[in-house]
Amino acid sequence: MTASYRNTLALSLLLVFSLTLPLLGQPAADAVSGITSRQIEGHIRFLASDLLEGRDTASVGERLAASYISNQLSRIGFEPAGDPTDGGRSWFQAFPMHSTTPQLEGCSFELQLIQGGDALQFQVNQDFYVSPRSLASGQSQGGLVFAGHGIVSKDHDLDDYADISVEGSFVLILAGNPEGVIAGEGRNRSRALGMRARQQAAKDRGAVGLVVIHAAEAEETSFSEDMGRSVRAFGRRSLSMNSGGSSQIPTIYLEDSARDQIAAIATLTTESEYGEVAGLIGTFNIEVERKQVDAFNVVSLMKGSDPELANEVIVYSAHYDHLGVGRDGNIYNGADDNASGSSALIEIAEAFAEGPAPPRSILILHVSGEEKGLLGSRWFVEHNPLPEQMKMVADINLDMIGRNNPTQIGITPSPKHEHWSSMNEAAADACEEEGLEPTYDVDSYYGRTDSYNFAKQGIPTIFLFSGVHEDYHRVSDESDKINFTKAAAVSRVAFRLGWHLAWAKQPPVRKSPNSETGNR
């Protein structure tokens, strides 16, 4: 072999090799162009179809969606990275949920006249209203003790319990605030004057319940005007990670017509003396169905190619659950919220599978329970199923990416946010490549999506979000309203960003807020 031939061969091999390597900041063109509006549309239309019944957390629809997602990721070539199994790892990470369904039948409140006479029996959602969430099944019984407005507030120099004992009793209080006491507005609003604080004050002092009435001299509207959510809560399942038991005492709003039936014994005004209402015993009954169910995150991994950097993990997250089926039978399909972000993750995974494996590992995480309070992502970060040596170094979260201005995408944290990081700068570059303008006006949503649970662990995060709209959390959030072209463009932005992070020399780090950076 001549020297000339060897040189020519070496140059040819170098050229071929260089063409197979990604250029710094630029992923393979085929991988990027493979994320198309048609591909995104196909996933969204399935995930947001009536077949999945709104993908409620811990429902059959959630299971169907999880199966579809895991099958797609298996086809692409990602590996399962969820709960340990006998054969390795599951695609799923189960997390326990506690289901409570308050029953309307059997819910009652009555006042017994100790000195004789029939009990005064009141009809729920007519004579009285009660919020049944977080109540335990059974009976609450006790005498009545009047405690003014039931307020304890150092700021207002008020303690309506100072000279009375309410242990084992229902606390009878007046709606509203004392004359001259102002709750305030916005951030200046006093929480001590809210009903939740009054309920807690009664519970802390051993009360079995709270009974709220209008003062005899008050000209108030019916409680019913503000109790629609409580009325709808009966017969409707709610989910939490709370292991059970009652976190609240019942708060009973007694309508004026019911209040007036006890006027012969107690006509209460703002001037009435605090203390026991002699001659009355209250009894409240409710039945609440409780059971434990499992919800599932879908967890998949592409291991990095570098022996050391593979232990640094770039996480992509999106929630795939939504609101399920309403009491009226309407299905909340949640096409934008968040079939759009869930579909994006599938296409991003496929784009990574198209090219050479990056040095760092890529985790595709579809979480459930977001609509119940970011529960799936919270469980994931608190029960990380990854091998101990693997460390999450970034989270890119996508939620609602297919609506509103087709040329803009919201990004948080903004340059003024305390959690601004070096990955935000790479995101701005990715937006420019896709012809999207990054806007930094969505910091108010920073704590309302799954990336927040990663941020609390000190992990740099970024949230891509196209904003709320008139169909948010409504049955009208359907696939036909999605801008699939925009959803695909945002998906490509997220892929470019994650690709950059996966190949960068150093993982992202948080930076000090810099207002000038937001103008790029």
Q: What is the pLDDT along the chain (520 residues), one digit of tens a residue?
A: 554 444 444 444 333 433 444 444 478 788 999 999 999 999 999 999 999 999 999 999 999 999 999 999 999 999 999 999 998 999 999 999 988 899 999 999 999 877 666 788 999 999 999 999 889 899 999 999 999 999 999 888 899 999 999 999 999 999 988 887 776 655 555 787 889 999 999 999 999 999 999 987 777 678 998 898 899 889 888 888 866 555 789 999 999 999 888 776 766 777 788 999 877 899 999 999 988 999 999 999 999 999 999 999 999 999 999 999 988 899 999 999 999 999 999 999 999 999 899 999 999 999 999 999 999 999 999 999 999 999 999 999 999 999 999 999 999 999 999 999 999 999 999 999 999 999 999 999 999 999 999 999 999 999 999 999 999 999 999 999 999 999 999 999 999 999 999 999 999 999 877 544 433 3
Distance CA 158, CA 160 (A): 6
Q: List, for residues 455-466, the tens digit of each pLDDT value.
A: 999 999 999 999
Compute CA distances 388 → 265, 396, 492, 509, whole Å: 68, 21, 31, 21
pLDDT at 446: 97
Instruction: List, in sequence order, the alpha helices (H) in 295-340.
Output: none
Distance CA 356, CA 302 (A): 11
Q: Is the Cβ–Cβ distance between 408 and 379 less than 8 Å?
A: no
Q: Write the CB contacts of 222 (distance below 8 Å, at least 6 apart in sequence).
A: 255, 256
pLDDT at 133: 83
Distance CA 303, CA 246 (A): 44
pLDDT at 246: 54
Burial of residue 148 (CB within 10 Å: 0-12, 13-18, 19+) is: buried
Q: Is the Cβ–Cβ distance between 300 and 227 less than 8 Å?
A: no
pLDDT at 514: 57
pLDDT at 17: 37
Can you give the pTM of this predicted structure?
0.79
Which two tokens mark 89? 């790892």
Distance CA 116, CA 244 (A): 39
pLDDT at 22: 46
Element (H, E) at 297: strand 275-302
Distance CA 302, CA 495 (A): 14
Which two tokens mark 373? 């309070």
SS3 259: helix
Work out the angle at residue 358's Cα, subtended by the Cα atoms of residues 353 and 359, and round it to the nearest 5 degrees.
Answer: 150
Peptide bond into 338 cis (omega under 30): yes
Burial of residue 407 (CB within 10 Å: 0-12, 13-18, 19+) is: exposed
Which two tokens mark 258? 């019911």
Encoded amino acid at 351, one letter: A
Element (H, E) at 491: helix 484-503
Residue 376 dihedral angles phi and psi, to the nearest 5°: -65, -40
Compute CA distances 162 → 156, 180, 220, whole Å: 14, 20, 28
Instruction: List, in sequence order, the alpha helices (H) in 355-483.
Output: 375-382, 422-433, 451-455
